[in-house]
Amino acid sequence: MTATAPAASPTTPRGRGGITQSITDSLVMAKRNLIRMVRIPEVVIFGLIQPIMFVVLFSYVFGGSIKVPGAGTDAGSYREFLMAGIFAQTVTFATAGAGAGIAEDMHKGLVDRFRSLPMTRGAVLTGRTIADLVQTALTLVVLAIVAALVGWAPHHGLLDALAGFGLLLLLGYAFTWIGALIGLSVRTPEAATSGGLIWLFPLTFISVAFVPSQNMPAFLQHVAEWNPFSATVVACRELFGNLPPGYPVPDAWPMQHPAWASLLWSVAIIVVFRTLAVRKYRSATG
């Protein structure tokens, strides 16, 4: 007599769909990385020191010698002009931390352990980038408080200010995927840190973050005005109300429509580099 398999009871758990499982696994990995950050608070503390130093140095050391077009003789105009650039620099420099963290997990063999678990492959990377986004948000809160102490303030209301910080966090999240790809492409965390910073300096300084593009040579003006970093900086200045009334806006499309340019650049970077990072992760652990 052939045995008949028992029918599944109504309480038998069903298999989760791909998207549901990916989201759940990513949140679990994000929680793991956040717990790790809490247990090693030095990482967060040292991550706060550098942007605070930039605020103080540029405000009080260089601020007196840099004039913002359209601001007249207002001594405090550069501080307000500067802060969006410092905020943007802070969120993009999280790239190095993301790359180093992923490289360290690869180097220690933790990724091989994750592979033995029933989780989606992209969850390891997505969880890491989400955790870095939370840390970046915390850093921005502290930095905004320090900026207010040296004379910065948003002038267009709470909603516009939140929209500006939202663009900053989106840019930071996009750049962490670049860091993830770098972390998967090198052999040591030290190399990931160096590789994550070396290209960020020209990206942030050949921009309108610290000086107006009108002060640059002609060929650098075009680079600065089409720089995705510049688009986010200018969008935040407009949303925060930190542009002087007479500030000459360049004719380049990203400078004329900085909020849209910032969104498009950030989404494009996420799509491209997330795809490349997940593909690299699968080939590196396959």
Of 35, 84, 65, whose CA–CA distance to 215 is shortest? Answer: 65
Where b means 16+ CB within 10 Å and e means fewer, 176-194 reads: bbbbbbbbbbbeebebbbe
Asked whether residue 13 carries a pLDDT value surpassing 50, the answer given is: no
Share of the chain above pLDDT 70, in %: 87
Asked whether residue 255 carries a pLDDT value surpassing 90, the answer given is: yes
pLDDT of residue 125: 87
Provide the pLDDT confidence category of residue 5 given band limits of 50, 70 and 90.
very low
pLDDT of residue 65: 64
Q: Could you give the residue ranges of the DSSP H alpha helices within the chain?
A: 18-39, 41-57, 77-92, 94-108, 110-115, 123-149, 158-185, 189-198, 200-205, 218-225, 228-240, 253-256, 258-285
Asked whether residue 3 carries a pLDDT value surpassing 80, the answer given is: no
Structure confidence by residue, pLDDT tens digits, 106-126 = 777 777 677 667 777 778 888
Structure confidence by residue, pLDDT tens digits, 236-252 = 999 998 887 778 888 89
Alpha carbon separation from 285 to 21, 130, 183 (Å, rounded): 20, 21, 13
Structure confidence by residue, pLDDT tens digits, 61-101 = 766 666 776 665 565 677 788 889 999 998 998 888 788 88
